[in-house]
Structure 1
Amino acid sequence: MARAQAATRRFDASGTTGDLAVALDAARAACASVDNWHLAGDLLIRLLRLRYERTGSVEDLDDAVQAGHTVFKVGRAVVGAAAEYARALMARHELTGDPADVEAAVDMGRRVVGSTGEHDAALPVRRSDLAAALRLRFLLTGAAEDLAEALDLSARAVVGAVGHSPATRAAASATSALVHRARFAHTGDPTDLDHAIGQGEDAERHGRAGAPGGAERKAELAAALLDRHRLTGSAADLDRAADLARLAVAATPPEHPALPRHLAGLGDVHHARFDRDHDPLILAEALDVRRRVVGLPCTPDRLRLATALDLARTATAAGHGDVTREAWDLVFRLDPGSDLASTAVAHLVAVGRPRDAVEFFQLSATPGEPLRPFGELARAAVGGPVVLINVDAWRCDALVVVGGDALVVPLPDLTERDAAEAAARLVDAAAEPELSRAWLPATLRWLWDVVGAPLFAAFRHVGGEPGVLPRVWWCLAGRYRFLPVHAAGTKDGPSVPKLVVSSHTRDLVALLHPPRPRAEPVVLLDREGSTPLADLVPADARVLAATATAEQLGRANWLHLTEPDVTFAFADLDLGALDFVFLSEHAAPPIAEGDDLAAVLHAAGRTQVVASRWAAPDVTPALYRALSASGVPDPTDTATALHAALADLRRTGHPADWAGYAHYGY
């Protein structure tokens, strides 16, 4: 035991790696003694933790925690061992994020402080340790009482550390800085930030150069200074943060688990310097640092994801298309369900990568699906241009997929806020028809101004037969997918219906189904009695949903659904064989529920779908007459048939009478 203590004192004086190794060997030997192994527990735990701080060896940290657990479990832990156990637990939590380590550290810390005398020289550090554990728990739970207690303990620790060793003062000040910065993040009070920076500078003054924890103190002080720069614009704070962040990285061993975090902090500082100085060399530094973070094997996935997002932002600012694409690929590889696809699209458009932007738009329309190459997606526009409307807080654009390429039409007057408000109003209007009559005309004018006018001013589709309106497919994603862009405009002025025949699609993939032969119609009806469609097919080609067998449902390839309650098993349908579906406002799920049954049915196979999104006059007689011009119902040109069936209502009716009808298909 005496040898272990002497070796530890020698290491404390020299700080050399060799003395640390000798001290560890002596502590292990002391713990191997049957009589006093537990008395050397605090030395062993502390030395293992210190070697972890120097080298980043996770094995050392786990051994330190295990040693603490063993000493405590057998009930022979002295106060010093319990204190070291708590520190090891906090260090492991910083590495893994395990909340159980924080709970154990708080418990240990309370035991240690409660067992330490008021005049004990170790009390300031032990109060500081408990404050650090309570701060970590506050960050996890948001419990205000933990933060308040941490502030009180850290203040008492700072006062108590006066007159003690520089290491004690440095430790107490560093913890006080962390706790006050946590309160600043919670309340935004700049006095807390000033206090955190003052305490951080005090820790820097008293901390020994090269001592364990020095890199962490520098990184934390740099982060606090960066916060104050963002608040005040102080150039001095930013320059000081840059110096400290570089020193923190330089003082961190190459394989230490803290290196990715320190590099990420340096990347944040570089980006702030670029925002201030607009120096491309600084931006290149930021880009290089963020790529290092992403590429380090020891970077945790949470930090890797956050840094990939930062890398995308930095690369976009630098105009680096390849790196922007690389960063967003990584984001969605780490988080396939991310809701940031619209931002990815906006970034890729900004760096001149519209084809890549189209690929990522797919992830807005169908989250969680794998990316598909543009060459495959471009085949969806075989019948005419497909217009993808991307709505993002950063910028909004129309991506026009046509002729094997992707063209960008910026939509500078469309904002995410306005689009979200319009989508929300549409939900209300769909539930209350009178609201749609009051609200819809202005919304259609707005849609023309922000989408239709810039799109058709920049892009004119040339093709088709003379006197025949060209086709256009619209694709919107997320909460915006029900916005009636197909009806944008006014009765007496310019409008989308005067220029094109519109269809909708869930995404580009839904338009990739290969052509297939059409079968003789077998019509599934969900209401007894005569309907325009039923009258066009023989009686033996009609199936009533309420009495249909599974075999009859499986043969149905035309659906005419008008009832709110489904009386048959959708699973019995052969969705891939459906040729045509009509959904009234009752049969289609309400817009408020967010489901788009029409899009789902269309995407299931090469299906033509007509859906009414809210209550409107019945146009099925005119629609089915147009579809049966050859004598037999044929869905091939459903979009044009619907466009013609709505012509009279567009001329004489209110927009609410026709704008709710939408076609999904080919």
Structure 2
Amino acid sequence: MLSQCFERTGKLSDISEAIAAGKRSIELTSLGHPDLPGHFSNLGSSFLRRFYQTGELHDISEAVSSQQKAVELTPLGHPNLPKLLNNLGGSFRHRFELTGELCDIAEAIALQQKALELTSPGQIILHEWSNLGTSFLRRYERTGELADIAESIAAYQRAVALTPPGHPNLPGQLGSLGGSFHHRFERTNQLSDIAEAIASQQRAVELTPPGHPNLPIVLSNLGNSFSSRFANTGWLSDITEAITLQQRAVKLTAPGHLELPRRLSNLGNSFYHRFTHTRELSDIGESVESHQRAVDLSPPGHPELPQRVNNLGISFLSRFEQTGDVSDITEALAAGRRAVELAPPGHVDLPGRLSNLATSFLSRFEKTLSFDDLKESIAHYKSAATATSGPPSIRFSAAKHWATLSHRHFTTFPETLLAFATAVRLISVIAGLEQTVQNRHSQLQSISSFTLQAAAAACALGRPDKAIEWLEQGRCLVWNQLNHLRTPLDDLRVTHPDLAHRVLEISKALESAGSRMSQSSTGTQALMSEKVGAEEEARSHIYLAKEWDNVIDTIRSTVPGFETFLLPPSCTTLLQNLPNSGWTIVINVHKDRSDALALRAGLDKPIHIELPGFSSEMAEKLRENLKKHLVDSKVRMREVEADEEDGRGCKPVGLSKGTVLRDILAYLWKEVVKPIFDALELVRSPPELPRIWWCATGPLAFLPLHAAGLYEKLNSHTIFDYAVSSYTPTATFLTNRVMNARRAPELEDASGLLLVSQPSTPGLSRIPGTMKEVHAIQTQLATCAVRLCILEGEAATIEAGLKEMDNYSCVHLACHAIQNKVEPLQSGFYFHDGPLSLSTIIKKDLKHADLAFLSACQTSAGEEKLSEEAVHLAGGMLAAGYRGVVATMWAIRDKQAPQVAGDFYEYLLAEDGAAMNGSRAAYALHHAMQKLRTRCDNSESSLLTWVPYVHFGL
């Protein structure tokens, strides 16, 4: 009763008397008495309650000791054992919170999991789930393991689901659940997580009565979530609400309360976030004051003291950057050093604190120009980047600063290349396999372009080989990951069939998990059972990714000859496995410089060709001009035009004006393509045109390199006179296809063409030209022995299409297409009964996939925010297994599509009419475009008609 009284009043005399009574009860109870375990447990609880108020290590150690005795005295199978185990686990967790010893939190989790295992079915166990959730959360805060935060959310969700309405514990359960969502948001930046956090914590506030001792912490935590969302979105209403809530929480907290420093630190963070938006000195002054009070009130050795000191340093730094007051940067550096010194080795927050200290040194360097400060900054950024723990995004940011500063100020510094290599490697860690494809693309939007900076630096340092390796490692990550999951295992299966089987099973499961819908689809209004199911999938996904890493490490370390299994290829390896004919031209476009890197089988190293006349600014300007020109010319989608075509067979796609496209093609010729051809000594009109595979980066990836040239009225000088052009997302894609082709089964059994035509798709505009397209293709195949399957109109269902894709090596899709830029794997092609998505196609094991002709609009038009990821239908079909793809950069005309298809297949079947072989598809498209050009002139309208056709792959 004294203990319960203390919970309400907070008077230390009450809890001290309770402890004394508890000790006396144990003294009066004989050994073996059935009440003795309960007396020890109650005494431990009283010590724990006093610890909440005092934070004394003695109290929490006594709590652990008493509760351990309670467990030891309770026989297995006793109904009270789960509760006692759970209480002991809670005390271990509280001791961990004070000392930071990982063995304590591991013991806490083990005890609480055992308590759940021993709980009888049907018994109410909401406390157990809640306590387990808190323990996983605390370990996550220490180690940063995503599996721990997923386990925490799942446990809290179960606790909330088990808590009936009106139960006094419901506000606490909701607040804890919201806290875990908030922590995950800070790691992933998924807005669905912070929305869930705020919704749960708002309910917790609503259900907590005025005057309740838990109200301040619920208010403060809700303020944290609003503050974090503001930092991500910039919504001023959020930060205003955060400060109001946290000021109220501080006001309701008694002086000397153990939680007061934490609430002051939270308030200081919110004032800091508002300052970053408003630049009001009063806000950063309030931030410094709140953080200083939090530090002053924190006892030495408190596990949160390093973070509170770190926060204080950040605020001092921000005020220095605003006012230039040297005393502020001195305080910032002192706080930063102390925060680093106080952090335990391997702590998840250490890279962030090192980065903050580095930023303070850099800020002082910019003021004083002292190279000692610059060297200190670089050294701390390096330490943060190379740390073995901590969020990958923090380590990447540190590596980026390390690399940029080293290259800018110490160009020949030996570690500059190491810094760039570290940063590029971390890009793939940030977009790891434990996330959905949508989330990976979201993460990559702001970071994948760094690869171009790294490649530009490598070129400047005379290391084109490193430029190639980094571009291959840091671009098209999602497609490369999918390719890894589908890597052939024939060689591994010969010597280690068990490992091969394990890789196959995990890869299939990861493919499925990666294509699942993101958790935002559940929504904050979804039923708790639905949310629990979504979290279960996410948690399983994380463990699958960990298992994948483990089995790959096992293969590399134990299987002879597999030491580099699925590691990024070296430049030498790439050069050894490129196609035997033609050049692969990788063009890196960055604001610092532009370079072409020419690769060819048999070379020792890339041929480096500087492009001084081209820049990323010009590439972006050309891309914007082309985009605007297409809109002005009403080039949007494949539509029927009622006009009769003119005598040349070409009609304008729209109302094109000026010479925008012709000027773009001329500029690309003069400043990009012609300098490359000159350096490679390619001649005009050779006996047989060589192949060129273009691999463009940045805004250049959205420009028609394949059509570069001078299109004069009488005498054109174009790329068509020199080479047959194709595109490739990466050089690695080509080498993988070459190596896979060497061991792939012959295509004869499945050789043939699946032709899907949708002249009238329900709910979409009609495209009757597809019927002419079918007729044109049938005409070419009529005299050949090539198998042909036509699915047209109502017969072209998703089920039928998928079934026939297994049976035919080539597919021709004459239909509408949809490009989903948010979830690229949901992009697809409209069949009669709906869209056939890439995710569905990719799940098929298309062993015989050879050629896909995508006679639809904008099937190679990528996402501008993901220029390095080839987020378009053509890239997706390559990822699905097709060796080559014919696609379109923008809308194609319904009248020209049948002509192009007929000419394409005429050439393709000319050499071997008995088989459908896509290896000559690039030449076939080149032939079809030349014939179309002869029916057109060099006007802007004609260029808009044929330029969009492109070829990808082998």
TM-score (norm 1): 0.72
Could you tell me which amino acid in structure 2 is paired with residue 385 of structure 1?
A: W
Superposed CA offset, 1:200-223 (max 9, x none): 344456666666644333211111
1:358 counterpart residue number: 471
Asked whether the 8 Å contact 1:131–1:154 carries over to 2, the reply is: yes
Superposed CA offset, 1:498-522 (max 9, x none): 5543222343344344478997995
CA distance in 1, matches of 2:474, 2:68: 62
Cα RMSD (Å): 5.8
In the alignment, is residue 329 of structure 1 matched against residue 425 of structure 2? yes
Q: Using a 3 Å threshold, how does the CA distance of structure 1 residues 430 and 534 change in structure 2: closer, same or farther? A: same
1:645 counterpart residue number: 931
CA distance in 2, matches of 1:88, 1:632: 69
Percent identical residues:
18
Q: Residues 443-462 of structure 1 correspond to what in structure 2 (within 5 A)?
A: 443-446=661-664, 448-449=666-667, 453-457=671-675, 460-462=678-680
Superposed CA offset, 1:27-72 (max 9, x none): 45677899xxx9xx99x989974763444547269859999xx9xx
Q: Residues 237-636 of structure 1 correspond to what in structure 2 (within 5 A)?
A: 237-254=328-345, 258-273=349-364, 281-293=372-384, 299-300=389-390, 303-319=391-407, 320-336=416-432, 337=440, 338-339=443-444, 340-352=447-459, 353-360=466-473, 362-363=475-476, 366=479, 368=481, 369-370=483-484, 371-378=568-575, 379-380=577-578, 382-390=580-588, 398-402=596-600, 403=603, 404-405=605-606, 407=608, 409=610, 411-414=614-617, 418=621, 421=624, 425=628, 429-431=635-637, 438=656, 441-446=659-664, 448-449=666-667, 453-457=671-675, 460-462=678-680, 467-468=685-686, 470-476=690-696, 483-492=703-712, 495-497=718-720, 500-512=723-735, 513-514=737-738, 531=776, 534-535=779-780, 538=783, 540-541=785-786, 543-546=788-791, 562=814, 583-585=854-856, 589=859, 591=861, 595-597=872-874, 600=877, 604=881, 607=884, 609=886, 614-615=892-893, 617=896, 618-619=899-900, 636=920
SS of 2:476's partner is: helix
Could you tell me which amino acid in structure 1 is paired with residue 395 of structure 2?
A: T
2:310 counterpart residue number: 219
CA distance in 2, matches of 1:612, 1:141: 37
In the alignment, is residue 199 of structure 1 matched against residue 244 of structure 2? no
Asked whether the 8 Å contact 2:451–2:475 carries over to 1, the reply is: no
Asked whether the 8 Å contact 1:598–1:609 carries over to 2, the reply is: no
CA distance in 1, matches of 2:862, 2:926: 28
CA distance in 1, matches of 2:467, 2:222: 49
Asked whether the 8 Å contact 2:96–2:102 carries over to 1, the reply is: yes
Question: Shift of residue 307 of structure 1?
Answer: 1.5
Asked whether the 8 Å contact 1:393–1:415 carries over to 2, the reply is: no
Could you tell me which amino acid in structure 1 is paired with residue 404 of structure 2?
A: T
- Where relative contact order (Cα < 8 A, 6+ residues apart) is larger, the structure is 2
1:121 counterpart residue number: none
1:123 counterpart residue number: none
Unaligned 5+ segments in structure 2 are 1-18, 24-42, 71-82, 116-122, 143-147, 157-172, 180-200, 408-415, 433-439, 460-465, 485-567, 640-651, 757-770, 817-829, 864-870
2:243 counterpart residue number: 151
Unaligned 5+ segments in structure 1 are 78-83, 117-125
SS of 2:287's partner is: helix
Question: Shift of residue 166 of structure 1?
Answer: 11
SS of 1:383's partner is: coil
Question: Shift of residue 656 of structure 1?
Answer: 1.4
Question: Shift of residue 270 of structure 1?
Answer: 3.8
SS of 2:776's partner is: coil
Q: Residues 94-243 of structure 1 correspond to what in structure 2 (within 5 A)?
A: 94-95=141-142, 103-104=175-176, 114-115=211-212, 129=217, 131-139=219-227, 151-152=243-244, 154-155=246-247, 173-184=264-275, 189-204=280-295, 213-231=304-322, 236-243=327-334
CA distance in 2, matches of 1:205, 1:258: 21
2:949 counterpart residue number: 661
Question: Shift of residue 196 of structure 1?
Answer: 0.6
In the alignment, is residue 52 of structure 1 matched against residue 97 of structure 2? yes
Q: Using a 3 Å threshold, how does the CA distance of structure 1 residues 626 and 538 change in structure 2: closer, same or farther? A: closer
Question: Shift of residue 344 of structure 1?
Answer: 2.0
Superposed CA offset, 1:158-215 (max 9, x none): 77999x6699986675454234224445766553222112333444566666666443
CA distance in 1, matches of 2:924, 2:850: 10
Q: Which moved more, 1:93-102 or 1:210-219?
A: 93-102
Q: Using a 3 Å threshold, how does the CA distance of structure 1 residues 53 and 293 change in structure 2: closer, same or farther? A: farther
Asked whether the 8 Å contact 2:590–2:616 carries over to 1, the reply is: no
Q: Which moved more, 1:55-64 or 1:326-335?
A: 55-64
Question: Shift of residue 621 of structure 1?
Answer: 5.9
SS of 2:585's partner is: strand
TM-score (norm 2): 0.53
Q: Using a 3 Å threshold, how does the CA distance of structure 1 residues 257 and 530 change in structure 2: closer, same or farther? A: closer
Asked whether the 8 Å contact 2:227–2:242 carries over to 1, the reply is: no
Question: Shift of residue 431 of structure 1?
Answer: 1.8
Q: Which moved more, 1:106-115 or 1:206-215?
A: 106-115
Could you tell me which amino acid in structure 2 is paired with residue 660 of structure 1?
A: P
Asked whether the 8 Å contact 2:755–2:811 carries over to 1, the reply is: yes
Superposed CA offset, 1:128-151 (max 9, x none): 655532333334666988865663
Superposed CA offset, 1:296-339 (max 9, x none): 55x34xx2332233213322331311232133223313523452
CA distance in 2, matches of 1:632, 1:451: 37
Superposed CA offset, 1:336-395 (max 9, x none): 345233322322332443122332255258353453333343343642222334567887
Could you tell me which amino acid in structure 2 is paired with residue 178 of structure 1?
A: N
SS of 2:678's partner is: coil
CA distance in 2, matches of 1:89, 1:534: 67
SS of 1:429's partner is: coil
Could you tell me which amino acid in structure 1 is paired with residue 726 of structure 2?
A: S
Question: Shift of residue 421 of structure 1?
Answer: 3.8
SS of 2:395's partner is: helix
Question: Shift of residue 246 of structure 1?
Answer: 0.3
Q: Using a 3 Å threshold, how does the CA distance of structure 1 residues 92 and 556 change in structure 2: closer, same or farther? A: closer
Q: Which moved more, 1:643-652 or 1:325-334?
A: 643-652
Q: Using a 3 Å threshold, how does the CA distance of structure 1 residues 241 and 169 change in structure 2: closer, same or farther? A: same
Count of residue pairs the alignment pairs up = 631
Could you tell me which amino acid in structure 1 is paired with residue 606 of structure 2?
A: D
CA distance in 2, matches of 1:631, 1:51: 74
Could you tell me which amino acid in structure 2 is paired with residue 486 of structure 1?
A: H
